[in-house]
Every structure is written in structure tokens, then in C-alpha cells.
Structure 1
Amino acid sequence: MTATFTLGRRINNIVSRLGRIPSRQWMLNDGSLQLQRAGKGKTIIILARSLCQFMCINLTKIPSSSRRGMMDLQVRKESPFERTGHVMVWQAQHTLVWSWDLQRVEDALRAADIDPHKVVCIPESLFYPADEQGLRLLACQEGFEGQFWSDSVLMHSRWWSNPPSPHEWALFQRDIGVTPLQTLSTATTMHLSDQTWAKVTINRDHLDSSMQIERMAYASALLVLAALTLDFTAAWLHAIHETNQQSRILNTLRRQISPLIEAREHALSDQDRIESLERLYPSTLPLELMAAVAQSMPVHRAYLQEWDMQGQKLRLTLAPMEGDLSATAILRSLNSTGLFSNIEGVSSPNEAILTLKLDVTPSHE
């Protein structure tokens, strides 16, 4: 029972993996597409060797950190195409580069209603089994490819539309420095492997111009937004700094003038109390008024018989000690003190007595 269950699970895993195998299509030199293997998921476009250029670059003298950038520059420099697609294989101290006319490949894909950005393009040479040492001639999907391997590294490759002649094969060997020259052998026919014989670095820079412009626009917008954000943040931080600084200055001034403010408040409070006390008393004290009246009376000839003061109204009666009182002289004297106004005489049955009504003049007038 357990063995049957395990076998069934393995079969399911195999089926699941088969279901994820990507489909593969040939792209030939004329741009036509041929199904090489059906599958699901991302489509792999196998570029015929006739569409590709090959070069092997020695990386011995290039620092590791700069190699990828140097390779991209070298590909653009050596490529005759306006737009170049390429893949790389890193082997020991060498980089193997296959490049192609990106515009031509994308046009062919779009003509077949295939989105170029949803497929991966890999040259057919990478699906043939690798070699270790020496020359070999491969029969490709279209034409023939001569290869020279050294220490399991593909050092040189050349493509011919027809089988190379002995002279062409000899020229290929002379160009790459092979000695002694080897005679031309029959081309080898190989089946494509399921996987490439080395890890392939896919170039993701082959976006079409519209997507590049869109990405550049997004990047520019992000840069502008970041700049505005930084500018706003700097201004906000500066404002906070200025506010804190002004607050510290204000607090210092408050501490410095606090005694003055406190003294002023005490002075205003005292002034309020004084004004309240002043309002409780008349503007001129009764004793001061009596003294003024006494100075206005004839010396040793009269006395104050009645004094009646109601607010600012005063009624007084003077009686003679001997002789008659001179009302005119007394009125003139009282008026000259400046303490009284509206002085009037009041008739009395006793003609010897002088009764007067007066208004007390406010002290501020």
C-alpha cells in the first residue's frame, strides 16, 4: 500500500514537472518560427546560429567587480546592429557572448503575434552538448558551425550557410591559431538538449523604446518626487529649528523681564487699592474746609454755630460774638479760598446770624 502511494506521488511529480516544461520554437534566418517542443509557461525562442554573432573575451586582466559593465560596453562596441540583444556565459576567466539584431528578432516575433517581452531568446549553440578540446563541425538547423574548444571553453566559433570547403576550414584554423592544421571532417548532427550546457546570463536591457521611455519617465518622476520631498523635509526641519531657536530666545527674555512684569503688576495693584481708598473719602477733607471757613471769619468776632455737610453740599451758620458780621467780606474771603462755589446766603429771622449754602469744589478742578 505504501509502495503504491509512493509510486503514485512520484508519477504525479513527474507529470507536474512535465507540465511546467516551457515550449520552444525555432527562429530561422528568414524570421520564420517553427515549433520545436510544446510546453507550458514561458516560451523559449531558439535562435538559429545564422542569426547570431559570437565572441569569446578573456577576463584575466579585468577586475571582477567591473566585468559585467565592461562586457556590456564591449558588446555594444563590437555589434554592427542599432539595437543588440545578447546572452553571456561565464566560463573560468572567459566570457562567451552571442549577440543578434534585436530589432529584426522583435519584428519577427510581433509578426507572429508574440510579445517579445514574454519570451527568452537563446542561441541554438547553447543547446548542443559541450566539448572539451579541439575542433568540431556541427550541422545546425540552418547551415554549419565550426567550433574550437580549449579546456572545456568554447574559444572560437564560425558559421557557414553551406559545408565549408577545405580552404575555408583551413582559413578558420589559421585565424584562430590552430597548428598543425586539421583536415575537414564530416559535420556532426546532434540533438538539442533540454537544458543549455552552461548557465546563461540573459540580457534584460532589450526593452523596446516605448518601455524604456516609460521607465525613464517613471524614474524621472520618482527623482523629482524625491527631490521635492527632500526639499520640503529640509525646509520643514529648518522651520522647526528656527521655531525652537525663537522659542528658546523668547523663554530667555521672559525669564529676564519676569521681575519687571511682576513689579508692574504689584504697582498696578497698589494703584487700584489707592484709588479705591480715595473714592471712600471726599476730595477735600472736612477739617480743611473748616480751617478755610475759620480763616474767612472775622477774628474774635464770630463763631461757627452750625455745620451741615452732605456730600459736596455744605450749609453753615456763623454767629457774631460782638457787633455785626460783614457778609460781603466773608463771602469774598470764602470765594478766594478756591474750595467753594455757588455761595449763596440764606435768609434767617435773626438778622445777626449769617447762614450760607456752598458747593465744595472738587480737588481735581
Structure 2
Amino acid sequence: MTAMQKRPRALFSPGRSLPGETPGCRQPKGLLGAQEWVAPRRECQYRQQDFSALPPRKRLAAAKLAAARFLPQPGARIHLAWQGGLAHYWIWTPEGGGEADYRRWLPETLLLAPPVQDGPRLLALSQGVEGQLWRSGMLVASQWWARQPSDAEWLNFLRASAWAGDAAMPALEALEWLERPWAQSGRRWAMDVDTAERAAWIAAGCLLLAVLGWQIASLLRWDAAAREEAARVDAARARTAPLQAARERAEATIAEIQSLRDLEPAYSDYEWMARIAARLPQGANFAGWAREPGKLRVLVRGGDPDPRRAIEAFLDAPPFDKLTATPTGSGDMLLEFELPAARATEGSSE
């Protein structure tokens, strides 16, 4: 086996085996390879025709027209391969196979490496032997025998092939199958497995680059949009900065005013005097007035001298319901009221 054959199977390498064998038993297929059947040389007829006189673009059409006269019977199949302008035809009729069976196939001869030097050679095949004659690196004659030919049979083969060199029968050679056929396929768009694998990896790389490019472009667009949005936010902040500063100054002023208002007493002395005077018994008048934090002293002169009457007058008049009444002994009455500690807040009831 050559160094080429020892390397790992290509991704699209086909699995090869003879008809009737387990698929891929001779050459296992690659991960994405298909099954390719190898027709034994014993079951193939070989023909060739030279189309070198025609332009390359017309050769395939001419070869297909010429193939019709090589078909021995309906159901026979032809594998066409090229060496320059020389067309090789292998005609094969599968035994017991339907139209869909053995759709992909090639002759055994195409998998046996060409000789290093021109001339005749004798090859051992899977079934029988094949004699070949090579000129200028091209196969010009092929003959199959069920066994090694006699000297007479070999000589007849050389004469039919117009060989004028040494007529001695060469030693029998046994070759391993190649990874790729030694002649180009007759299919117009055919490519070998290495080319197919290279194209697949290139396509995968291009797809990966396209995805990465799309992601990078999306990130760049997102970054540009984020920068634009940040610029709009900064501009809006710059426009609203004076308003925000004014609002903060107003809130600070309101807080300062409220703190100053909290320092004020709940009621002024005039309000207290008016409300207390309205509750005094008939004939009673203010004789004195003293206000301290949380307490108010009122000296009343005249009126009923009973302190209970003075207290009853204020029981239903908050915040004057918390008081004491003390006669002074000189006919006056000392009323002491407990005052609210802080000013009532806005919106609350007294």
C-alpha cells in the first residue's frame, strides 16, 4: 500500500467493494462518502476510441454518441473515462441488479495504478488476470483471462495490440486499489474526493466567516446605536440641568421656610387671649397674662370664685381642656393651661 493509501480517508471518500460483498469492505468510506461498486474486469468489456482530432468541448458529446454502438444489450451500463483525447469505455451488465442497484460504479482496472514505464504488463485481479499495454502513459490495449495466459495467448495479445517490443511475458503483479481512479471521469462536473473535501472545508470556512462577520457587524451597529443614545441622553441632561438646578433650589427654599414656620408657636398670644376670653364666666376679666414654653398662666379677676366653674368652662374647648384653677385668696383666679408643643401641620385639623 502506498503512502497515499495509508493516510486517513478523506471526508467524501467513497466506500468500495465488489458486487455482492458488504458495502465498503474493500475500502471503507469517509464520513460523508457514498458507496461505490467496483465491477470486476471479468464482467466488463473494454473499448476505446481516440477523439484527439476534435475540439475538447465537443469530445464528450461525440463519446456519448459513439457509446451507443458499444452497448451489447438493454440494461448494459457504460463507464467513460478520459486520458487526454483518448476515451476508455468499460461496458458492464450487473447480474441480478435492478435499475437503481449499482448506480454508482467503476471498473476494477481504473483502481490499479498505471506503470512507471510504458510497455506490456500482467496484473492479478479479484477474478482472473488482465494484460495491458501502455504507450506514452496511456492504456492502449486490455485483455482479460480467467487464468494466467499461455505464451501463445500472450503473443496473440501483443500482436493484436501492434506491439513490436519484447514479447516475453512479464511477471504477474498484484496491486492494491488506488484512492482515486487514474483516468478522469466522463461526467461533466465530476470532481475527485480531495477536491470535494477541499471545497467543503472552504465552504464551511466561508460560512463561518459570514456568520462571524454578521455577528461583528451586529455588534458594531449596536455599539454605534449605544453611543448615539448616550449622546442623546447627555444632550437631554444638559438641556434639563438648569431646570433641575432650579427645582433643587426651590425645594431647598421650601424646606427652609418650613423649618422657620416650625419655629412659630401654634397660635399667637392674641389668638389665645381671644379664645380664652370667649370662655370666661360673665363679669370675669383678664388681670394678668404670662406665657412660657408649654404653659400659659392667666390671672382672672371677677366672676364666679368657684374653680370648678372655671374648669368646666374649658372642658369642651381643646386645647384648653388641660388646665388647673387656683384661687389666689384676693378674689382672683389663676388659670394654668398646658399648651401644644408644636405647630399643627398643613392639612390637619385642630
Relative to the length of structure 1, the TM-score reads 0.45
Query: Which has more helix, going by share of residues?
Result: 1
